Amino acid sequence: MSNLFPACGSLSHFNRRTLLTAAGASGLCWLTPVAEILARDAEQTRSARAKSVILLWLQGGPSQLETFDPHPGKRIAGGAKAIKTSLPGVSLAAGMEQTAELMDSVALVRSVVSKEGDHERATYNVKTGFRPDPTLVHPSIGAVVCHELPVGGCEIPRHVSILPGAWPGRGGYLGDRYDAFQTFDPLGPIPDVTKRVSDERFDQRLKSLDVVERAFARRRLRDLEERKTLQSTTIGAAVKMMSSEQLKAFDVQEEPQSVRDQFGDTPFGRGCLAAARLVEVGVRCVEVELGGWDSHANNHEIQTSRVKELDPALASLIRMLKERDLFDETIVLCGGEFGRTPNINPAGGRDHWPHGFSVLLAGGGIRGGVVLGETDPEGGKLEHPEEFEMSPGKGIQVANIHATVLHALGIQYKKELMTHVNRPMAISKGDAIPELLL
Amino acid sequence: MLARRLLFGLVCVAGLTALLGGLLYGTANGPADPPGYDPARFHNAEFREVVQRVNQEFEERWQEAGVSPAPRASDLAIMRRISLGLTGTVPSLEEIRLYEEARPEHAEQWWLSRLFPDRRYADYVAERLARAYVGTENGPVLLYRRRRFVLWLSDQLHENIPYDQLVRQLISDTGVWTDKPAVNFLTATCTEDNGSQPDPVRLASRTTRAFLGVRLDCMQCHDDNLEGRWEQSDFHELAAFFAPASSSLKGIRDKSQAEYEYQYLYADEEVVVSPEPPFNAELLEPGGAPREQLARWVTNDQNKPFARTMVNRAWALLFGKPLVAPIDSIPLEGPYPPGLETLADDFVAHDYDLRRLFRVIAATDAFQRDSQADFEITLDHEDAWAVFPLTRLRPEQVAGGLLQAASLATIDADSHIIKKLIRFGQESEFVKRYGDMGEDEFDDRGGTAPQRLLMLNGKLVKERTEPNPVLNASSRIARLAPSDEKAVDTAYLAVLSRSPAAEEKEYFVNTLRGAKGNQRARRMEDLYWTLINSTEFSWNH
């Protein structure tokens, strides 16, 4: 970055006061200046209103039958009950009462299919829209959104993972700087953002660090910073974040108790509340994870306990986004890496099932009150057509969901990005689904 | 009683002060040459020959790529690489002083001779290998003991058990996981999903990736649709070797009758799959349980992928980057990068002696290149190994380095147990925050803002740099260094394993000038903080 903004080369430049005086030349953010200029350019030509994504990630594989796609009375239901929703003729599983009232605001795809039945591989597939590839790592959707959309005035990480499990969103070939910033139950402090010494001493330390950095870079790899270490870029970003007012968005205790109660007194509920506050200050993608869906035994009990946390949080999130006029600017996505088998195994469990599972979408650019696709009430597999095709018995590929979301955000998803192995790669290989778009 | 304790305390403090005084003035006590270091050994034709051959291959590669190699790195830079790669920490000031006194002819060999008998080597390399063998998860609660397994691996490395023997035991051992720790390789897969029995599918995948450098995982479900060599049957025929293995209260056994059945893609029904290696099938010898046959086949001297895979891994441990990437995907038919075949042949010829393998790699020109040069260094130089590649250190290397740098004396197996426990606790918390890379051990990545936050403001950096005359090097240097110059020199050696450049020395001596008592301790804390937050500290170079 020193090529473009020579003044930014020194680390001591990154202290708060200097930043305030030089606010205009804010090349010092989570993107390199080049990317930021490109992103600004993109901003001027954007027409889509949506600009953030909240991904409610249900790790472990939620059962479609006990969440968004019940088949009451059928053998495969195993006795699970369903409830009516605000959409005539559409049911959700019992336990989803609050979400059921909002069905006219959301779109539901009940026929998602993939070829990945292993947690890690399937998580990769659903988070990136691509199957794992031994030659490169694809960026997850949050990283793509951060890469493609403008920085705006955001000083804190634009890609955040709350309650991350084993596989939070990654930058992949876009680089580690697009990795999600990981943080935990919003009741606790945000890790490592508070200085341990006085401002004066901290600034002095950064100034001294310049001396050591210069000595190290001498006679070493050309463009050491850009090509390898990102050291001063990341320190700059870290320092900027430390003094940002926007950090308060993480603090859900600023919300009245009554609001917090609606989301549920759970880490996931608080995570969803924090997510709404974060998109309000300009964060591009927040993942909030709710784990524990992997019900190989005692399926019904496990799913019921998860749904109990999911329903109030999901519904309250949608309501809050609407109240705060953020619903049109934010896309809510809710789903897991695959569904669960229609057949119940001898342990009362359901196993992994990528042949027909549900994903919920809502918000900016997404048509509400749509239910797309259906699964076989007798428990058969859906077909896996390569191209998008809306017809009974055929599934919808994960990549098409990605293309739809990216399209709603105004991102040219067929555009190719250059990867570090010099291989051009389309942002998505799917097609946007017209039925889901406004 | 109290008087006696006080006296004991005083004696300790006096002894320690004397030792530290020595360290700060640049002297140390101890044997100059470690056992196992005999300079003649590294002059002998047989050792030189293999090193020369590898050097020749790299020379050709550099010419082909049209790049000039960097000059040789300093002894201390090379020792730092070896310590990070094989013990997960930086050399202590105490160790650096020993080296300065000995000035051995072959610094890297002298250094390896010191580290091999040290438990830090066995423990650290065991954990690295365990990542490839059983992953990082804690696994099935009752049937699997990861820590026991790692300890066992460490014992094997400490004894320098030949690598082929170690792997045969992993694949074919029987018994109870607590008593025969090698069987944890199997019980790690005894998940509930799999009825608490060893899972042939996962074992086949592990075996090929960890020991043979072949990725067959995709073939679990379909034929190879990339280069077309593999069929789905290759995977399941390999998995069939593990089918008889079963777990009970008596531990892991092999049933005499056990068939592996599988329904292939596009097939109408399940078929019985008989065990068959996916390549080099002529090397399979009959006799013994199927797992024993498999173990002998994997480690057969003619089964070169076995040796190549360990060479690639040993290379990655020392360089922070494998010769062939990804680390567990080495083409069976080549072409191979310089060094790989020669090193693999040498590894087989010397009975899979891991220590020799590390010695040979460390002696090569490639390993000893500097990461600095008087010409402009580009990524092409790194790709051709004409300069030492810059790689980001793993979180536990950063933590280990930080803890060691904050202590002037070596923290090793002989350190006080309390010190070791503190180290263990602090290290694991730090690693979690810094971001454990799991099994993606040698991915090439830049740093991230959250990592920087942890280094700028994290608890561990604070605790190990703040004024603390008992625990922290910064305070002890502030108090005991005979001059400002000596204080700056010492901090650089302890943290970055080098002396400061002229302008660095001038700058930091100025920050210390005239500071006394607590103020001086705080200035030293600032210096320590600064060095620990530098790129140089958290990268291998």
Instruction: Please check the confidence at residue B16 and state whether its pLDDT lies above 60.
Output: no
**Residue A34: predicted pLDDT:** 45
Q: How far apart are CA B169 and CA B151, in angstroms?
A: 15
| Pick from A55-59, A312-316, B393-397, B521-525: least confident | B393-397
Q: What is the CA radius of gyration of chain B?
A: 26
With beta carbons under 8 A apart, name residues in chain A contacting B504.
211-212, 215
Instruction: Please check the confidence at residue A237 and state whether its pLDDT lies above 60.
Output: yes
Average pLDDT over residues B63-72: 97
Instruction: Please check the confidence at residue A82 and state whether its pLDDT lies above 80.
Output: yes
Average pLDDT over residues A140-161: 92
pLDDT digits (tens, 9 = 90+) for B174-190: 999 889 999 999 998 88
CA-based nearest distance B265→chain A, Å? 13
Q: How far is CA B262 from the centre of its chain?
A: 38
Average pLDDT over residues B70-93: 97
B467 contacts chain A (CB < 8 A):
no
pLDDT digits (tens, 9 = 90+) for B129-174: 998 898 776 667 778 888 899 999 999 999 999 999 999 999 999 9
Q: How many CB pairs under 8 A join A and B?
A: 138
Helices (H) and strands (E) in chain B, counts: 27, 6
Chain A residues 12-31 within an 8 A CB cutoff of chain B = 30
* Cα atoms in the Cβ-side hemisphere of radius 13 Å centred on B376: 3
Average pLDDT over residues A89-95: 97
**CATH architecture of residue range(s) A50-186+251-436:** 3-Layer(aba) Sandwich (3.40)
Instruction: Please check the confidence at residue A6 and state whether its pLDDT lies above 60.
Output: no
C-alpha torsion A190→A192→A193→A196, nearest 10? 130
Residue type, B384: A
| Percent of chain A predicted with pLDDT > 70 | 88
A403 to each of A141, A435, B277, how far by Cα in Å?
10, 13, 42
State the pLDDT confidence band at A33, using cuts at 50, 70 and 90.
very low
Mean residue pLDDT across chain B = 89
Instruction: Please check the confidence at residue B59 and state whether its pLDDT lies above 90.
Output: yes
Output the DSSP codes for B260-300.
EEE--TT-SS-EEE----SS-GGG----S-HHHHHHHHHT-
Which residue has better confidence, A420 or A351? A351
**Residue A44: predicted pLDDT:** 47
State the pLDDT confidence band at B191, using cuts at 50, 70 and 90.
confident
B508 contacts chain A (CB < 8 A):
yes
Q: Are B146 and B139 in contact (CB under 8 A)?
A: yes
A261-291 burial, b at 16+ Cβ within 10 Å, e below that, comes to: ebbbebbbbbbbbbbbbbbbbbbbbbbbbbb
| Percent of chain A predicted with pLDDT > 90 | 69
Q: Could you give the 3-state DSSP secondary structure of residue A1? A: coil
Q: How far apart are CA B69 and CA B52, in angstroms?
A: 16
State the pLDDT confidence band at A27, using cuts at 50, 70 and 90.
very low
**Residue A5: predicted pLDDT:** 29
In chain A, where the domains are located = 1-30+190-245, 50-186+251-436
Which of these, A286, A434, A272, A278, lies nearest to A365 by C-alpha position? A434
B400-425 burial, b at 16+ Cβ within 10 Å, e below that, comes to: bbbbbbbbbbbbbeeeeeeeeeebee
pLDDT digits (tens, 9 = 90+) for B22-44: 666 655 455 557 877 888 888 78
State the pLDDT confidence band at A96, using cuts at 50, 70 and 90.
very high
Determine the angle formed by the axes of helices A199-217 and B517-532, rounding to 10 degrees.
50
A194 contacts chain B (CB < 8 A):
yes
Which residue has better confidence, A40 or B208? B208
With beta carbons under 8 A apart, name residues in chain A contacting B532.
none
pLDDT digits (tens, 9 = 90+) for B324-357: 988 888 999 889 999 999 999 999 999 999 999 9
Which residue has better confidence, A386 or A336? A336
With beta carbons under 8 A apart, name residues in chain B contacting A118.
none
Average pLDDT over residues B47-58: 97
Predicted TM-score (pTM) of this structure: 0.78
Classify burial at A28, counting beta carbons within 10 Å of its beta carbon; exposed 0-12, middle 13-18, buried 19 or more: buried
Do the strands A159-162 and A181-183 form a parallel or antiparallel pair, or are they unpaired?
Answer: parallel
* Residue ranges of E strands in A59-215: 82-84, 91-93, 106-113, 159-162, 181-183
In chain B, where the domains are located = 13-43+72-114+390-540, 137-148+166-298
pLDDT digits (tens, 9 = 90+) for A422-438: 678 999 999 999 999 99
CA-based nearest distance A109→chain B, Å? 27
Q: How far apart are CA B523 and CA B529, in angstroms?
A: 10
ipTM of this model? 0.90
Tokens 């869906």 locate to A293
Q: Are A148 and A43 in contact (CB under 8 A)?
A: no
**Residue A420: predicted pLDDT:** 65
State the pLDDT confidence band at B298, using cuts at 50, 70 and 90.
very high
Contacts of A179 (CB under 8 A, 6+ apart): A143, A159, A168, A169, A170, A171, B448
**Residue A181: predicted pLDDT:** 87
